[in-house]
Amino acid sequence: MPPRARQSPVWSNGEVLDLISVWGEEAVQSQLCSSYRNYDTFRQISRDTMEMGHDRDTLQCRVKVKELRNAYHKAREANRRSGAAPMTCHFYKELDAILRGNPTSTLKTTMDNSEPSSTRQEEESGSEDAEEEGDSPSS
């Protein structure tokens, strides 16, 4: 039997949050979606986390992102089943912001949904304008 690969040290919460913030950037998500071979993207993620003071190589970052994505999808799928006890994973809110299509992972954006987005406001005002135009007589 071949010798086991040496495991990397456990990720701290700070390291994971920094990794998520870099991985969640719109440009990074765009690169990951547009290319099947994403080694260069994960190399850049590794460099960015190193600039934040963490010592993680490309493979470690790739594996951790994969683990986070799988844990998120597992929790989300479990919550879709009726009658199932609510399930979550570490960093669920941050991951949800990225994996639901919102590339920002700031706490304010994930928590503050009381204000409608400018797009929604424009759509609502646009539909009201259309109704008003249809109701008013033309000269």
Q: In this predicted model, what pLDDT tens digit does every residue of 79-120 receive, in sequence order? A: 888 777 788 899 999 999 999 854 433 333 333 334 443 433
Domain boundaries, the chain: 13-132
Tokens standing for residue 79 = 């919550």
Query: What does the DSSP 8-state code read for residue 9?
Result: P
User: Counting beta carbons within 10 angstroms of the beta carbon of residue 49, is it exposed (0 to 12), middle (13 to 18) or buried (19 or more)?
Assistant: buried
Which own/partner pairs from 13-19 qualify as long-range (CB within 8 Å, at least 24 positions apart)?
Answer: 14/54, 15/49, 15/54, 15/56, 16/64, 16/68, 16/90, 16/91, 17/91, 17/94, 18/49, 18/52, 18/54, 19/45, 19/49, 19/54, 19/56, 19/61, 19/64, 19/65
Q: How many CA atoms lie within 13 A of 137 on its CB side?
A: 1
**Residue 62 pLDDT > 60:** yes
125: tokens are 């005002």
The pLDDT tens digits for 7-31 are 778 999 999 999 999 999 999 999 9
Q: What is the pLDDT of residue 35?
A: 83
Residue 25 to residue 138: CA distance in whole angstroms = 49
